[in-house]
Amino acid sequence: MRETTKPRLVLASGSPRRQQLLQGLGLDVIIHPSGADEDVDGTPAPAEYVTLLARRKAERVAAVYRDQAAQDGTRYVVLGADTTVVIDGMMLGKPTNEAHARELLQRLEGRRHTVFTGVCVVDAVSGELKTGFSATDVWMRPLTREQIDRYIASGEPMDKAGAYAIQGLGATLVRRIEGDYFTVVGLPLGLVADYLEDFGLRIL
């Protein structure tokens, strides 16, 4: 169905945690943040929202590597991802400032929320793609104002959906999860592995 030449993987994200997860699987990854617009018309459901943005990011970067492939003959496969946190039917993005981070954490503390991560893999030359998502429930433990303030002071919440990072200090905020841990980190590795294999990048 495809050429036998092993493709190069391009990550359409500047996220260090996504990069580390892929490198932990032994993959050689080209990092190329998409810079894609994250505004979406209407009020899509969370699963639709994250898959739409993952596809937008992947296709934007794939357009760059389509030209590159014509020059160097290399096959490029582009991976895009997007994560959002949902509570009370509302999607929580990244905090805009410390006050916003505090507001998000106060909403989440002591309660259950759901993390959605969408994934899109695109063949840069053919345009063939696959999209999907994973969802995981997270229960955050009750937190005092002082604990929230100390966490914000660490700087960790500022570029994270929902204002916390489960793979960092934010692990201490979480009581339990139900589902895939890596979805909460920002890249559901089982789903990604299945998709990459379909595009000629076998991990196992």
Which residues are part of the catalytic machinery?
82
Q: What is the DSSP letter of 57?
A: H
- b/e per residue, 33-64, with b = 16+ CB within 10 A? ebebeeeeeeeeebbebbbbbbbbbbbbbbeb
Q: Closest by alpha carbon to 109, among 117, 119, 101, 121? A: 101
**Helix or strand or coil: residue 48?**
helix
The gap between the terminal CA atoms of the chain, to the nearest Å, is: 20
Residue 142 has a CB neighbour count (10 Å cut-off) of: 10
For the four alpha carbons of 39, 42, 45 and 47, in that order, the dihedral sign comes to negative
Residue 110 has a CB neighbour count (10 Å cut-off) of: 12
